[in-house]
DNA sequence: CATTTAGTTCACCACATGGCAAACAATGAT
DNA sequence: ATCATTGTTTGCCATGTGGTGAACTAAATG
């Protein structure tokens, strides 16, 4: 249940943008060149490349240039790191839920908004 | 496997800061007033309140003021939303892994770096 | 009432982010 | 050799972020 700060910062930050999440989703189905990745979006290439750089520096993706085309692929490890942190937090919460079962039951019933 | 943009943006962004993640971790063990939450950190109250506001507007926590003390508690739903998105992505990846078992095996062996 | 305590608001600052346009490689195709 | 394709770099700009210090409100406490 560490707070292993340095990598989670960049990973969560990278995920906090719809364009970048869409790129992640796309790459989950297999590698792709930059142009194909950028196609669905209405932004220019320079802006899109910035997103790719954020993703790469966060360790969520890896890119490799062969000829004039740069191919991007997913890097599942960092995704798993983020997921692990979240599930650890949930485990922490459930431990507290066991301690204060009745109180938490009350919290949940008033938490069904939105 | 939606990209349900609006809430994930703010949730992931809120999680992209070590101070805010530490607050989340602390609140997982039960509610706490602002002063107690701010104590472990070396930043001033105004800065800390900004973090709390980010957390609250992201829906990750809820706060309630009683008398002169504002009590903060966790809101597990948004945490679960983020965790769900991540696990959906992983499922997507595993589907691709089934399709291209051999290729992905190759990818994993060259992904043991860092 | 006077004072500490807890939180809030305000003005300000340095810096990162996300976007653009435009010019510049470098490779593949004709 | 020419030319289209695919990135890449460079300025530039508006906005958001994370921090500060100082002034202020409101509730317990003596």
pLDDT tens track, chain B, 114 positions: 455 567 899 999 999 999 999 999 999 999 999 999 999 999 999 999 999 999 999 999 999 999 999 999 999 999 999 999 999 999 988 877 666 665 545 556 655 544
Query: Mutation test of the interface with chain A: which of B86, B91, B101, choosing the one with the most A Cβ atoms within 10 A?
Result: B86
What distance in Å separates the CA atoms of residue A45 and residue A35, rounded to the nearest whole number? 8
Paired tokens of B71 = 């009590």
Q: B90 and A111 in contact by Cβ < 8 A?
A: no
Nucleotides of strand D under 7 angstroms from a protein beta carbon: 5-11, 17-22, 26-28
Residues of B in contact with A113 (CB under 8 A): none
A79, A80, A96 member nearest B29 (Cβ): A96
**Distances, alpha carbon B16 to alpha carbons A14, B19, B21, B113, in Å:** 8, 9, 8, 24
Query: Which of the four CATH numbers 3.40.50.970, 3.30.70.141, 1.20.140.10, 1.10.10.10 does domain A5-109 have?
Result: 1.10.10.10
Minimum CA–C1' distance nucleotide for B65 = C7
**Among all chains, which residue has been given the structure tokens 């079962």?**
A101
**Could you tell me if B73 and A107 are in contact, meaning their C-beta atoms sit under 8 angstroms apart?**
yes
pLDDT in tens, A75-84: 999 999 999 9
Q: State the Cα angle at B10 between A114 and A87, rounded to 5°.
A: 85
Minimum CA–C1' distance nucleotide for A43 = C19
Position A92 scores a pLDDT of 87
Paired tokens of A77 = 């490890």
**Could you tell me if A83 and A76 are in contact, meaning their C-beta atoms sit under 8 angstroms apart?**
no
């Amino acid at each position: 249940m560490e707070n292993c700060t340095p990598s989670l910062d960049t990973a969560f930050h990278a995920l906090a943008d719809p364009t970048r999440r869409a790129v992640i989703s796309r790459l989950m189905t297999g590698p792709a060149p930059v142009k194909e990745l950028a196609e669905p979006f209405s932004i220019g290439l320079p802006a899109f490349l910035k997103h790719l750089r954020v993703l790469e520096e966060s360790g969520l993706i890896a890119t490799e240039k062969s000829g004039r085309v740069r191919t991007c692929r997913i890097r599942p490890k960092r995704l798993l790191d983020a997921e692990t942190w979240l599930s650890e937090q949930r485990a922490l919460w459930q431990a507290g839920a066991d301690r204060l079962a009745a109180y938490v039951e009350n919290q949940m019933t008033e938490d069904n908004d939105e």
